[in-house]
Structure 1
Amino acid sequence: MKQLVCRTIALAISLAIAAPAFAQPGSNARQLEQAIDQSHRALEAILNGDPSLYLALFADRDDITLGNPFGPFGQGRAQVAATLANAANKYQRGTARVEGVAVYGDGNFVCLVEIEHDRTQLAGSDEFSEFSVRVTSLYERISGQWKLAHRHADPITTARSAQSVLGK
């Protein structure tokens, strides 16, 4: 996991160096690195039944959003907290490896695209399961800190037919 985390952080740093907006006074690529690292630790916490680290990463306001494979989008702090808790209740004894795909942004917003490769026990099972999800996270710089404004994860990591979106 550390190698892929380093790759994601390297992408973030290269964006920080290449994007002129990051060079503006008050911006801090190190804080972005820390936020991304915290999100990877929060992922492992979710896979061990603990939603609190992820909730701490989200901005504290009513327009934040979270989408995951278990239901509709949660919007606002209360719904995001409930959506995280619902996901965390499904897992135990998990680990993750994160693959950075792309980073886009400026001094106030960063969009991070990753693939998470997870290994965990589903709650109530003795067997480990492995799965991957594609993830898009939107960070906003608020009062000098990078906070999540949006996160979306779904299990579509391979090509699918047009019929697959019909849900039949």
Structure 2
Amino acid sequence: MIPAELTQAMEADHQALNALVRGDPEPKLEMFSRAEDVTLANPLGPPVRGFDQVVAATRRAVAQLREGEPVRFERISQAITADLAYVVEIERSRAKLGGADELIPFALRATTVFRREEDGVWRICHRHADPITTPRPIESLAEQD
């Protein structure tokens, strides 16, 4: 059984992602831990560590999208302990990406790790999202110049 506070945090995170695709990063940033070990690996850059770096990376990403539609979530897996939980989901939405004038569909494979912090609040301590949502050939692993 999922604790009520964690269910609320997961729902708040989904609402924050809806705001994010509309161009508002603030609700998502509220979800992140302020601890030194917080990490973010978003699909537009290398992983970052520390709240200030998470804020900067999130704002850079959100500056490149706008007017998005609510995200649809496909839950793949989850696990929960007393103070730690993770969720693996496919997140599907449409937004104006970059300089596009029309809504473009996109999907992200996302893993979000929540931690119950000292104040009892569940916050994101790690998030990784990338566009890999379908099978790919092994050659896709090759680094490109």
- TM-score, with length taken from structure 2: 0.93
1:129: Cα distance to partner? 0.2
One-letter identity of the residue aligned with 2:24:
D
Picking from 53, 61, 69, the partner of 2:35 is 61
1:63: Cα distance to partner? 0.7
Hey, what does 1:86 align to over in structure 2?
60
Query: Unpaired segments of 5 or more residues in structure 1?
Result: 1-12, 17-28
- Paired residues for 1:19-168 under 5 Å: 29-95=3-69, 96-142=71-117, 143-168=119-144
Q: Could you tell me whether the CA contact under 8 Å between 1:69 and 1:153 is conserved in 2? A: yes
Query: Unpaired segments of 5 or more residues in structure 2?
Result: none
1:123: Cα distance to partner? 3.9
One-letter identity of the residue aligned with 1:66:
L
Q: List structure 1 segments (4+ residues) > 6 angstroms apart after TM superposition.
A: none
- Select the structure that is richer in helix: 1
Greater Cα radius of gyration, structure 1 or 2: 1
1:51: Cα distance to partner? 1.0
Q: 3-state SS of the aligned residue for 1:71?
A: coil
- TM-score, with length taken from structure 1: 0.81
Q: Could you tell me whether the CA contact under 8 Å between 1:93 and 1:120 is conserved in 2? A: yes
What is the rounded CA distance, in whole Å, between the counterparts of 1:48 and 1:124 in structure 2? 14
1:140: Cα distance to partner? 0.4
Choose 78-87 or 121-130, whichever is displaced more. Answer: 121-130
What is the rounded CA distance, in whole Å, between the counterparts of 1:101 and 1:154 in structure 2? 15
What is the rounded CA distance, in whole Å, between the counterparts of 1:106 and 1:167 in structure 2? 37
1:105: Cα distance to partner? 2.1
Deviation readout 1:29-81 (Å, 9 max, x if unpaired): 11111111111111111111111111100111111000111110111011000
Deviation readout 1:100-143 (Å, 9 max, x if unpaired): 11111211100111100011112432111001110001000112
What is the rounded CA distance, in whole Å, between the counterparts of 2:80 and 2:24 in structure 1? 29
Q: Give the aligned CA root-mean-square deviation in angstroms.
A: 1.1
